[in-house]
Amino acid sequence: MSLAAFVAYIQAAPLTIILCAFLLAPVLMIAVVSFWDYDFARLYPDLILLNYEEALGSWVTWRTYGNTIKYAVMVWALTLVIGFWVAYYLAFHIRTTTMQMVLFLVCTVPFLTSNIIRMISWIPVLGRNGLVNSTLLEMGLIQAPVEWLLYSDFAVVLAMVHLYTLFMVTPIFNTLMRIDRSLIEAARDAGATSLQILTNVIIPLAKPGMAIGTIFVVTLVMADFITVLVMSGGQSASVALMMRNQMSLLQYPAAAANAVVLLIIVLLMVAAILRVVDIRKEL
């Protein structure tokens, strides 16, 4: 082995050790436990498929997975639209770099507080006697409080959009700031309208940022259980919430099996995104 190759291995060793210790080893441990047996009191190291059969053979489980994917798709679509237009405004309508940074930092101010605090702050707004219902009643637009504003899928999606939009704004804003402004000027000189510039120049060049934001948002939504629990009032479910309930009942192998299945689904989603968009130049 040459000296250069040896030095390269030495330089890569710390990161390799960290990834193996904090990423590969925990995932491998979860995969191993997913094949174990258990009862109400203890775990039994084994090699059985019962946990996967129970996870994939129940219509309740499939419905829970479908509900989780539904949340992921809805939150992704809303955060993509909101995140793109916020990033577009900051990148192309704010002239000075200083003001861009100031406004971007303003967007991050809510993230200086806990996710739990930001989530439950919607309860007095959306509740039966909350701000929205009180305002609509005073304006005479409704005769009775709207019940579905809180403890519903609407509340879950709204809270998740509030929590995760910045994870879409940041990579898109970074991508838009890298676009060569001469390309836009050339398109405008060629007679392109603002809409044509947006659809044919800006959006195609912003796809890597959209892809990175999509990976962030989808993975966060798929793993979120506290938002589903609180904002649905326990009336809805997600895979992460199901795993949390299984762990509270000491059913660790069953939770591990669902974790492996969820990980595979997320990895397939990420792989599909990477097949469509090349994000290497953004990393």
DSSP secondary structure letters along 119-180: HHTTHHHHSTTSHHHHHHHHTTS-SS--GGGSSSHHHHHHHHHHHHTHHHHHHHHHHHHHS-
Three-state DSSP at 103 gives helix
**pLDDT score for 282:** 55
Angle separating helix axes 59-92 and 97-108, nearest 10 degrees:
150
**pLDDT score for 111:** 76
**pLDDT score for 119:** 85
Distance CA(150)–CA(142), nearest Å, equals: 16
Rg (alpha carbons) of the chain, rounded to whole number: 23
Output the tens digit of pLDDT for each of the chain's 283 residues. 677 777 888 888 888 899 999 989 999 999 999 999 988 778 888 888 889 988 888 888 899 999 999 999 999 999 999 999 999 999 888 878 888 888 888 888 877 778 888 888 888 888 888 888 899 888 888 888 888 888 889 999 999 999 999 999 999 999 998 888 888 888 888 888 888 998 998 999 999 999 999 999 999 999 998 999 989 888 888 999 999 999 988 899 999 999 999 999 999 998 888 888 877 665 5
**pLDDT score for 4:** 76
**pLDDT score for 29:** 94
Task: Single out the residue of 174, 267, 252 nearest to residue 215, CA to CA.
Answer: 267
Domains and CATH numbers, the chain: 60-282 (1.10.3720.10)
**pLDDT score for 161:** 94
Cα-to-chain-centroid distance, residue 256: 21
240, 224 in Cβ contact below 8 A? Answer: yes
Three-state DSSP at 188 gives helix
Distance CA(122)–CA(233), nearest Å, equals: 13
